[in-house]
């Protein structure tokens, strides 16, 4: 965990990429891209993803990669909905956990997040805990733009961000700044509120995390990093690459039944997405 803290602190005018996985082909593609570029990377698993792969199993695989390659790859429990889930991930050895209570009132969110911090730190004092303020709509899927409305009142407020961090003791903060989870069909996301990111960064003393990094205009990503974003989450673009490449591979290999012969194009497709994102997040590469 100390290594992750150091990597976040080192991220000056750059951001660490956080990429979610649902299977080992995604993990393989992400790790190969990060290893090739020699850049730290965070592997994320939501409640559903952890339930599918296994919390202890995911932690063990990521830890084995870190130790075998002496490489800064970390694992985060993403969008955990319950304190039981926080406890499970912390005990399994996750480097960080993120409590998703952004759909609650500000006071309820603050109370529950503080409980998550206290619980996590009681298990591992070095674990990083992330909280979310404002309301980031959507899920990691592709929808019509009119289905998800981004309202001004749902955006995080600098004064609330400062109070939230002070009262909860979170190590990382994910503010709603015009971002969504998922992607719009045939369109990029609305512009991220860069000014709001800067205001929140100036108001708090912890690194900021941008969720919903799929489908955002590259220029907005760069501006968000310059304004104070230290970690960027990407999931939907990986899922889209996974499905499209798998369908193509199955179509081109109709008689093949060996997964290790069908899945390499999937690994390569995910690797390409991750490489492009990491280069974007690290403009000097």
d(CA 33, CA 202): 33
The dihedrals phi and psi of 31, each to the nearest 5 degrees, come to -65, -40
- Could you tell me the CA-to-CA distances from 148 to 44, 75, 143 in Å, in that order? 24, 29, 8
Residue 45: name the closest of 103, 88, 14, 2 by CA. Answer: 88
Q: Does 78 qualify as catalytic in the annotation?
A: yes
CB contact at 8 A, 59 and 93: yes
Residue 207: name the closest of 155, 156, 165 by CA. Answer: 165
- Of 36, 47, 78, 100, the catalytic one is 78
- Find the DSSP H helices in the chain: 2-10, 24-37, 47-53, 55-69, 83-92, 106-123, 158-168, 194-203, 218-227, 236-252, 259-262, 264-281
CA dihedral 106, 184, 85, 81 (to 10 degrees): 30
**What value, to the nearest 5°, has the Cα angle with vertex 42 and ends 49 and 240?**
55
Question: Mind telling me the catalytic residues?
Answer: 78
């Amino acid at each position: 965990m100390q290594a992750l803290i150091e990597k976040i602190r080192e991220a000056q005018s750059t951001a660490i990429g956080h990429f979610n996985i649902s299977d080992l082909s995604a993990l393989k593609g992400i790790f190969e891209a990060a290893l090739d570029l020699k850049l730290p990377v965070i592997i994320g698993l939501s409640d559903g993803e952890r339930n599918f792969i296994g919390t202890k199993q995911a932690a063990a695989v990521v830890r084995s990669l870190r130790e075998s390659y002496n490489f800064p790859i970390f694992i985060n429990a993403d969008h955990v909905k319950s304190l039981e889930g926080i406890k499970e991930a912390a005990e399994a050895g996750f480097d960080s956990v993120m409590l998703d209570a952004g759909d609650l009132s500000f006071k309820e969110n603050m109370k529950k997040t503080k409980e998550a911090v206290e619980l996590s730190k009681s298990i591992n004092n070095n674990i990083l805990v992330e909280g979310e303020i404002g309301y980031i709509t959507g899920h990691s899927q592709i929808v019509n733009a009119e289905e998800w409305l981004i309202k001004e009142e749902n955006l995080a407020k600098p004064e609330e961000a400062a109070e939230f961090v002070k009262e909860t003791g979170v190590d990382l903060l994910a503010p709603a700044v015009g971002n969504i989870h998922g992607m719009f069909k045939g369109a990029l996301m609305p512009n991220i509120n860069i000014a709001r990111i800067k205001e929140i960064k100036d108001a708090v003393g912890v690194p900021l995390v941008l969720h919903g990094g799929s489908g955002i205009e590259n220029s907005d990503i760069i501006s968000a990093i310059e304004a104070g974003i230290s970690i960027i989450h990407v999931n939907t673009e990986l899922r889209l690459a996974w499905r499209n490449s798998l369908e193509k591979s199955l179509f081109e290999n109709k008689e093949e039944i060996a997964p290790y012969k069908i899945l390499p194009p999937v690994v390569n497709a995910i690797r390409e997405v991750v490489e492009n994102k990491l280069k974007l997040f690290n403009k000097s590469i």
